[in-house]
Structure 1
């Protein structure tokens, strides 16, 4: 049964690519021992085909660097909030009550496949109290 589901997913991705529906997603994640949380998703990137993993990865690296000023969680965004504040607000929206001393990692996804690590990590730690970004006291 699991094999059939995997095959159906692969066929669906291939059909989507043939119909011109290839896409690339970029996101910032928090990683824990047993789980990961999509903390912030950037605008979708258009790609031509679902086999363009390197293109998706490279464009996500650029998009994440531009959005976060190379991982600076205290950088201001066009919305007038810090990068970390936007992430804290998104995490609160998915029932995360607090974050203490966590790096934020860059990931990309091609055509509904698995999220893959871009190799990016914030140089500083993120701390959130309720829905507010706060300075981490113990790094």
Structure 2
């Protein structure tokens, strides 16, 4: 979702209070407004007039995204769902251990990696080669 990129910027985000946004956002992480022009304009004015609200909302949104919706968080969740004792039969290297780090933050990068390489072949060495080339 594009909203995660916006939140990750650390800037205050104004969005509608429709279920597509309220499923992942709250009043601490974004300015939620009724999707009507007058209500939306009030949200804009509130953010313009209250610099503390802008800073707090922007910071909270960034923290929420990095903690729950970043590639590091995704990979950690994925790794926790799979056994960490799985071993690559050719190298003996553990596969998907929790301590692996993802350095590529593009959505296409990780999704492409999973679909091309396959979950069982994701070793630390392959991840480093794929993400650092």
Q: TM-score range by the shorter chain?
A: under 0.3
**Structure that is richer in helix per residue:** 2
Question: Larger C-alpha radius of gyration, 1 or 2?
Answer: 2
TM-score normalised to structure 1 length: 0.27
Higher relative contact order (CA 8 A, sep 6+): 1
